[in-house]
Amino acid sequence: MTELRIPDGDERSDLGSFVGRVVRLDQAATVRLRAAGDRVTTWATTPFDVLATRSVHGTLDPSDVTAPAVGLLTALSVERGDTVDPGPGGLWQGDLPPDDGWAQVDDVPAAEVEGLTERGLTLARENAGPLGPPASLLDQTVLTVSAGSGPAVKVPLRCLFALSGMGFIGTDSSAVRVSATGSWLRLDARYGAVVRRRLTALPLLVG
C-alpha cells in the first residue's frame, strides 16, 4: 500500500484544499506525488495545459506516485490520521520541470495579474466555442517580463487562468513571482504555483 504521511494537520488540510480545487477544475485530473528530503511535492494537471503544484512537509513510500486527484481528495477527506493511501496508481503524461536551475525574472503585483485575468476572461467568454476558448487565445502573451539585460519571458493567458482557477492569487498587496529556466516558466503566487513548458521542442544545437 502507498503511504503518504503528513504529520501537521494544517498542512494536511492545506493539501486537501489544493486537491479540492484541482478536482473542481477537472474531475479527471491526475496528481503526481514526489518525495525529497522531508517534503512531498504534489503536481496536478489542469484543463489549461498548465501544471499546478504545492509542497508540504511529509514522507511518501514509494517516493514517486501517480494517482487520480479525486482518489487523493477522498483519502484526505476521510482519513483522520496523519497517514493516507492516495489511491490506485495512474499514468502520468508528460515531463515535470527540473528542481534546480530556476532564475527569478520579476515580481508582478497581484492586482495587475488579476486585472489581466479578468480582461482575459471577458475575451474568453466572447470567443468561446463548443470546446471552450480557442487555443490561440489561451496561448496569447498577456505579460512580458525581464530582468535587466536578460531575455524577456512571455507569460501566456492560460497560465493566468490556471492561477486564478486554482485560487492562488491573493487579494491584498502581494505579488506574483515569475521564474524561468531555459525551457520552463513558473508563476508563484500567495497560495500556490503554476508551471508550464516554454518551448514546444528542444533545439537541435546548444550553443
The domains found in the chain, sorted by start residue, are: 3-84 (3.10.150.10), 103-197 (no CATH)
Segment 55-114, tens digit of pLDDT: 999 999 999 999 999 999 999 998 878 999 988 878 898 899 999 999 999 999 999 999
CA dist 165 and 124 (Å) reads 14
pLDDT of residue 20: 96
Q: What is the pLDDT of residue 207?
A: 35
Do the beta carbons of residue 51 and residue 61 sit within 8 Å? no
Q: What is the pTM of this model?
A: 0.89
Q: Which of 29, 24, 5, 30 is nearest to 164 (CA)?
A: 24
Residues of the chain with pLDDT under 70: 171-173, 199-207
